Amino acid sequence: MASVKDTATFFTEGTTSQFEHVLKLYPQALRLQADRKKKKPEELVKLDDWYQNELPKTIKSRGKDAHLIHEELVQTMKWKQTRGKFYPQLNYLVKVNTPRAVMAETKKAF
């Protein structure tokens, strides 16, 4: 396994072709992670595809009015928690936001 120093060196000295090679390995690495840690590996793969591919296109399609809607924020948090440690309180905190608040605050981010 690569150390923190190895990772830092890769980011400061890696070539474009090395970055492209590593990026192409992402789907395999994700599948291995999903199969190793998750009870429902397909859920992680599906959520990751949504997060990596569909969500950016959806946000971009909104043009200068880029924002997330409440359902997208909830889905993003589900993706995050499926990838890592689950915090039930975090789900609650995300869900209690109003759709209007989510839209207004995420507009500021974009």
Helix (H) or strand (E) holding 91: helix 88-95
pLDDT at 12: 93
Residue 32 amino acid letter: L
- The band of 55, judged by pLDDT with boundaries at 50, 70 and 90, is very high
pLDDT tens digits along 78-98: 999 888 877 888 888 898 999
Average pLDDT over residues 89-108: 92
pLDDT tens digits along 58-75: 999 999 999 999 999 999
> pTM score, two decimals?
0.81
- The band of 37, judged by pLDDT with boundaries at 50, 70 and 90, is confident
- Written as one string, the DSSP assignment of 10-67 is HHHH--HHHHHHHHHTHHHHHHHHHHHH-S-HHHHHHHHHIIIIIHHHHHHHTGGG--
Could you tell me the two tokens for 5? 């120093």
